[in-house]
Amino acid sequence: MNFRHPLLLATVALSFTSFSHAETGTFTTLSYNVAGLLELFSSADTDRQQAIEQISCYVNGFDVVNVQEDFNYHAALYDTCNTHTYRTSTTGGMGIGSGLNTLSYYAFPTVYRVSWDACNGVDCLTPKGFTLTQVQLSEGVYVDVYNLHTQAQVADADLSARRANVLQLVDYINQHSSDNAVIIAGDTNTRFTREGDNIRALLDIGFSDVWVDLVRQGSIPPSGAEALVCDPKITDFNCEIVDKVLYRSNAFIDLTPTDYQVRVDDVNSDGEKLSDHPPVAANWQYSTNENMQLSAYSGGHGGTFFSDVTAVDANPGVASVWLRAAARVDQIGLVDASGNSRGYGGTGGNLQALTLQTGEYISAVEVCLGDRNNSQRVFYTAIETNQQRVISGGTVTGNCIDYQAPNGWQISGLHGRAGDELDALGVIYTPVE
């Protein structure tokens, strides 16, 4: 790959993406409402400072941890003995913050926070909502992890607000995670048996509930049935809790839950529970599509995430490719072999297009990054085929990444982030047919 201006080659460091065939791996998740309200307002029985100091250590045994009600004892949770490498920053105590945070041994570039549009009563006193962290399990292997805390209580106004919360989450997932593997782990305040709840709206867009899959062997409790309430709250066919874990695979990553536990070991030295909610753990195995590989994506966190994995799985052939660029890259897109067009970004800049010939395929993509409005964007992109034909546009910078397809593979799709311009870009490899 040698289409960058030759005078720049001595000063711009090249970085080539690593590549491997299909992979498998395992990881663990935990969802834990830590009851971090000020002691005067908390429904938990134990001293909150001491309990959350113990929780700080307890959660170390899990790879990705979503916590709810992390309000006024946040320093105790993070600073006592926690060892997670990546952690979201607090949004503040009760009345100010959402109480939602994620701790992980796997990297995630940023956290996206969304407040609920609907609330009722005391739930309106703090900005509850949901978060999205895109956890990178390995090179190019991303899982969107959602953390949430919906409207509580069961009065008609509460149920109406909570149904609106769930539908808002569904709409967000459809827009921002439509082609992604996803795990939702949080305090849903919902029950499958409660007629006024709409947790099934997530099942309608392809999600499965881990408790239903592993404990109930796929049997969803009927709506309107008697609540499946147990004390103590244990993992059992007849025990439904409001802290739930749901998941969905995609065309690249197959997620399989292998174990589910409502934990009973979260106790202090006197045997008292550390919170009024039990921690909910899940073990996972994942495997990737052997006929597809993703690079990491390079750039900033603006815009909306996009991915071609579903389209590429159905049709990996590329008929043409285009760029729109001026000072920066405004848009990138392609047309697949069936004539389906996919473009990402805005409508500015100058158009360059390349129609591929018989036996020709995309072999390399170059991305150069720069800062714009306090975030990275794609300033320059070049696309090269195996016939050494090239289109390029934008402004070359000193921060460039080259994505080169290995022998026998081609670049068939894209993933990244885009708004009015291209914010981030990665590529999808498939075998040459």
pLDDT digits (tens, 9 = 90+) for 356-371: 999 999 999 999 999 9
Predicted confidence band of residue 390 (pLDDT cuts 50, 70, 90):
very high
Contact between 367 and 380 under an 8 Å Cβ cutoff? The reply is yes
Exposure string of 22-54, with b = 16+ CB inside 10 Å and e = fewer, is ebeeebbbbbbbbbbbeeeebebebebeebbbb
DSSP state of 16: B
Does 16 reside within a domain?
A: yes
Residue 46 pLDDT: 83
Please tell me the distance from the alpha carbon of residue 298 to that of residue 256, in angstroms, as a whole number. Answer: 28
* pTM for this prediction: 0.94
Does 272 reside within a domain?
A: yes
Q: Residue 202, SS3?
A: helix
Q: For residue 359, what are the contacts with CB-CB under 8 A and spacing of at least 6?
A: none
Residue 427 pLDDT: 98
β 24-33/64-68 pair status = parallel
Percentage above 90 pLDDT, the chain:
90
Verify that 215 and 276 share a domain, yes or no: yes
Residue 231 pLDDT: 78
Predicted confidence band of residue 241 (pLDDT cuts 50, 70, 90):
very high
Residue 433 pLDDT: 82
- Select from 288, 307, 328 the last residue of a domain: 288
Does 1 reside within a domain?
A: no
Verify that 236 and 252 share a domain, yes or no: yes
Verify that 315 and 183 share a domain, yes or no: no
DSSP structure string for 306-350 = EE-HHHHHH---EEEEEEEESSSEEEEEEEETTS-EEEEE-S-SE
Verify that 281 and 300 share a domain, yes or no: no
Cα→Cα distances 105→63, 83, 238, 374, Å: 5, 8, 33, 27
| CATH number of the domain within which 95 lies | 3.60.10.10
Verify that 37 and 183 share a domain, yes or no: yes
Q: What range does the domain containing 180 cover?
A: 24-288
Contact between 270 and 257 under an 8 Å Cβ cutoff? The reply is no
The mean pLDDT of the chain is: 93
Verify that 323 and 397 share a domain, yes or no: yes
Verify that 351 and 249 share a domain, yes or no: no
Predicted confidence band of residue 11 (pLDDT cuts 50, 70, 90):
very low
Closest alpha carbon to 208 in 193, 216, 196, 218: 218
Verify that 295 and 280 share a domain, yes or no: no
Residue 40 pLDDT: 67
Contact between 431 and 311 under an 8 Å Cβ cutoff? The reply is no
Closest alpha carbon to 12 in 395, 418, 415: 395
- The whole-number average pLDDT for the span 327-342 is 97
Q: Residue 183, SS3?
A: strand
Does 114 reside within a domain?
A: yes
Contact between 311 and 252 under an 8 Å Cβ cutoff? The reply is no
Residue 57 pLDDT: 98
- The whole-number average pLDDT for the span 148-156 is 98
Verify that 277 and 372 share a domain, yes or no: no
First CA to last CA distance, the chain = 22
Please tell me the distance from the alpha carbon of residue 70 to that of residue 92, in angstroms, as a whole number. Answer: 9
Q: Which residue has the tokens 């700080």?
A: 56
Q: Which residues of 107-168 form beta strands (DSSP E)?
A: 111-115, 129-138, 141-148
Q: Is the pLDDT of residue 8 over 60?
A: no
Does 259 reside within a domain?
A: yes
pLDDT in tens, 246-266: 999 999 999 999 999 999 999
More confident residue, 146 or 374: 146
| The token pair that represents 196 in the structure block | 């006024």
- Dihedrals φ, ψ of 17, to 5°? -65, 145
Verify that 42 and 115 share a domain, yes or no: yes
Degrees, nearest 5: CA angle 314-316-317: 125
| The token pair that represents 18 in the structure block | 């690593």
Residue 38 pLDDT: 85
Verify that 276 and 334 share a domain, yes or no: no
Verify that 281 and 303 share a domain, yes or no: no
| CATH number of the domain within which 417 lies | 2.100.10.30
Task: Please state the domain count of the chain.
Answer: 2
Please tell me the distance from the alpha carbon of residue 412 to that of residue 360, in angstroms, as a whole number. Answer: 12
pLDDT in tens, 56-111: 999 999 999 999 999 999 999 999 999 999 999 999 999 999 999 999 999 999 99
